[in-house]
Amino acid sequence: MLTRYALRVLHRHRAIVDQCQRRHLLPTAAIARPFPPTAGHTARRRRYSSISSVDVAERTKRLLDAKAESGLTYDDLSSALGVTNTYAAQLLLGQAKLSNDTARKLQEALPSASAEDIREMQNAYPMRSFDEEILKEPNVYRTYEAVTHYGESIKSIINEQCGDGIMSAIDFYCDVGATTGKHGEKRVVITFNGKFLPHIEQKAEDNTAKSPRG
């Protein structure tokens, strides 16, 4: 039986594949089997794709079981792998690609994880996206709300300090921690550390692609 986490991953990957197929980024018939309906989802015609959300969800469940069996927290896993705690979670949830060097460390940290799962994490290119249903989860929604509420102010300060551009979410580090407030309350600290990417002036002389205008 799939856990709540695994079902969330399954639903997310189904939504990703549907979006890609609507945009013609994935073929309507390819290698993997069609997605079967699950609890809470009405049966409908499923398209084929090269991504099996069922396989990803089942692998995620096995990895989370291995983490639970090890007794390690995400902070412990972060230290063992040499990555941020958020990236450690992304690896287990199928949202990041496992490097060869980190694979060895992960196998040592989670000895009950199968070699086949570890190998698949190294070989597969993950679909990095999310199911819109996750925005209904209060913890995620409040984080999203905080970013959108402060968004214009954040943009203004980035522009003031760095110039005209954006923060990368690819050359990017995210770390989650907790601290204690002045009244003894537990408080959440989320750090985003992304490379600044300036918008460029599109000078014709710097464009290495041939113009379609001749």
Q: Which of 69, 108, 145, 187 is catalytic?
A: 145
Say whether 137 is catalytic: no
The strand ranges marked E within the chain are 165-180, 186-198
Q: Which DSSP string do the residues of 125-139 spell out, in sequence order?
A: -------GGGGGSHH
Q: Which of 104, 142, 156, 187 is catalytic?
A: 142
How far is 82 from 91, CA to CA, in rounded Å? 13
Q: Which distant-in-sequence residues (6+ apart) come within 8 Å of 117 by Cβ?
A: 59, 62, 63
How far is 91 from 103, CA to CA, in rounded Å? 10
Q: Which of 116, 156, 168, 187 is catalytic?
A: 168
Helix (H, G, I), strand (E, B) or coil at 194: strand
Q: Which is nearest to 80 in space by CA: 95, 67, 94? A: 67
Say whether 142 is catalytic: yes
Indicate which residues carry an active-site annotation.
Answer: 142, 145, 168
